[in-house]
Structures are given as structure tokens and as C-alpha cells.
Amino acid sequence: MFSSNELVCWDKLSFRVYLAFNERPTSQKDTNGGFNQTEKSANYAVQISNVEILPDPVVRGEPFTFKIKAHTGLTSYPLCKPILSGDLIYEISFPGIEEPAIFHHALSEETPLPVAPGHFLLTHTELLPAYTPPGTYNVKLTFKDQSEKRLTCIVFPFTIGAKSSVSAI
């Protein structure tokens, strides 16, 4: 069924993605796709290996995609099971704006279910209005299981360019 290297120990899982306002400064980047784990000492069941943003920079008024490569690893969780369902919550924030934009999605919208232990890809496509201010935004991504146990948490920046797909009138 699964090799011991592909198994992860965890309870039944569901996912949430948070993109939080000013959780981390956007200038702090690692060499792993531009993201930071929010709690350096945490031992999460789900590990993120790369975050890709297409296009980069994002063009206002055109769809953009976050491709998040993840994998389940051997941790201290008690059960070894695939991910059966979950929720994703995205909070996108911009310096100077107090309230982040929050987007809720089912895990099934972003990856085929069930997610077998091992490597998997989350793909999230969004469309921001053409009037969205250009600049660097923060994204906080948090995965939680059905009992609200945190499985992973990262923060990464993305840039919206000055170019817009809508001509100025």
C-alpha cells in the first residue's frame, strides 16, 4: 500500500490556509521558494517544500496561481492515514490595510482527494480586480485538521505589479 517513507502519522486531516496581515515582514525570505515557517521550532505533519506564484509579479485584473508543493513526513502523530477532506482559508494582507481579504475554499477545490501520504500539490487560482493596488502582499498559509490541530503554517510574500490588464480610460 504505502512505503514506510511515504507514511505520515496523523489524525483525520482537513486543511485551512490563512494569509495573515503583517504576521511577518515581507523582506524575510528563505531560499525555499520565498516562504518562512511561522514557528521555527514546530514539528508539523505537513511540510511545505516550495511556493510558486504564476505569473510573478501578478498582473492586476488577470488570474494568478499559487502552486504549493507539500509532503507529509514522519512525525509524532498517532495515525498514518491519507487526507480525506479539509478546508482552506486564505487571508491576503497589504501594509496599511487593517483587515485582510479572506477566501474560504474546500481542499477538494485545490487538490484531488484523498491525498495519499507523501508528496502532493495544492493549486489555488484567484482573480483580483484591476483596481487592486500594486505592491507586495503577505500571505499566511495554515493547515489545520478537523479538530483544529495545526498541521503546518507558513508566510510568504507575493507582488502585484503596476501593469493592469484593463486600459486606463
Is 67 a domain residue? yes
Q: Cell numbers of 169, please? A: 480610460
Could you tell me which residues come within 8 angstroms of residue 21 by beta carbon, excluding any fewer than 6 positions away? 91, 93, 94, 97, 98, 99, 100, 138
The rounded distance, in Å, linking the Cα atoms of 100 and 139 is 10
pLDDT band at 35 (very low <50, low <70, confident <90, very high): confident
Is 134 a domain residue? yes
Q: Structural domain of residue 105, as residue ranges?
A: 36-162
pLDDT at position 11: 29
Is 153 a domain residue? yes
pLDDT at position 43: 81
Longest dimension (CA), the chain: 60
Is 30 a domain residue? no
pLDDT band at 87 (very low <50, low <70, confident <90, very high): confident
| Average pLDDT rounded to a whole number, residues 12-20 | 26
The rounded distance, in Å, linking the Cα atoms of 109 and 144 is 16
Residue labelled with grid coordinates 477538494:
108
pLDDT at position 83: 75
DSSP secondary structure of 61-95? TSEEEEEEEEEE---S-S-B--B---EEEEEEE-T
pLDDT at position 143: 81
CATH classification of the domain holding 103: 2.60.40.770
Q: How many domains does the chain have?
A: 1
| Cβ–Cβ < 8 Å for 94, 137 | yes
The rounded distance, in Å, linking the Cα atoms of 147 and 12 is 9
Task: With residue 51 as reference, give the H or E element that holds it.
Answer: strand 46-54
pLDDT at position 5: 34
Tell me the C-alpha to C-alpha distance, in Å, between residue 123 and each of 11, 42, 53, 120, 169: 23, 24, 10, 10, 34
Is 2 a domain residue? no
pLDDT at position 7: 33
What's the pTM? 0.73
Helix, strand, coil share of the chain (percent; to 5)? 0, 45, 55
pLDDT at position 169: 44
pLDDT band at 146 (very low <50, low <70, confident <90, very high): low
